[in-house]
Structures are given as C-alpha cells and as structure tokens.
Amino acid sequence: MTCAACSNSSDKVALAPPPVYLGIPAGLMERCTVHDVPQETVASIIESRSIYIKAFNLCTAKVDAIRKFDAEARSNASTRPAN
C-alpha cells in the first residue's frame, strides 16, 4: 500500500498559498475631522450645521468603504481552496 502523500502521481493539484490579510488601506483609516466655524450668528450656526452634515456624510462613506473592503477580502479568502 502506498501513502497518498508519498505517491509520485502526476495528478496532484498545486495548492494556492493561504490568503494574506493586507490590512485596510491607510486612506480609509484617517480620522474624521471637522473644521467648524465660530458660532456667533444665526448664519454661522447654519453654516456650522452644514459643515457637520458634510463631515458626517464623508465619515459614513469611509465606514461604508471599510465594510466593502472587508467583505471583498473575506470573499476572496473564502474562495481559495483549503489546504
């Protein structure tokens, strides 16, 4: 009886290396910052709110991009053959 690992059969399949986690791109990991204006008038309060809404939307887009990156990385890892 011959051990399968010891066989010199030509029908062996080359195994792909295990997936490597490369981390989240640095651009997605930058802090979300807000550069507000002094709130001295009604107009400046309205402008401040607009600034915060834009910053919130930008931060939300970053979180969505991180989630998408993570989902794609997990999907790529799960499609590789196991050893």
pLDDT in tens, 46-57: 999 999 999 999
What pLDDT score was predicted for residue 4? 58
What pLDDT score was predicted for residue 51? 95
Average pLDDT of the residues of the chain: 81
CA dihedral 50, 53, 54, 56 (to 10 degrees): 160
Q: What is the mean pLDDT of residues 2-16?
A: 61
- Kindly tell me if the per-residue pLDDT of 29 is higher than 60: yes
Determine, yes or no, domain membership for 51.
yes
Determine, yes or no, domain membership for 45.
yes
Range among 17-26, 54-63, 67-76 with highest mean pLDDT value: 54-63
Determine, yes or no, domain membership for 25.
no
Measured CA to CA, the distance from residue 62 to residue 19 in angstroms comes to 24
Under DSSP, is residue 79 helix (H, G, I), strand (E, B) or coil?
helix
What pLDDT score was predicted for residue 57? 96
Under DSSP, is residue 14 helix (H, G, I), strand (E, B) or coil?
coil
* Domain range enclosing 72: 40-83
CB 24 within 8 A of CB 69: yes
Q: How crowded is residue 15: how many other Cβ atoms within 10 Å of its Cβ?
A: 10
Instruction: Tokens for 26, please give them.
Output: 């640095």
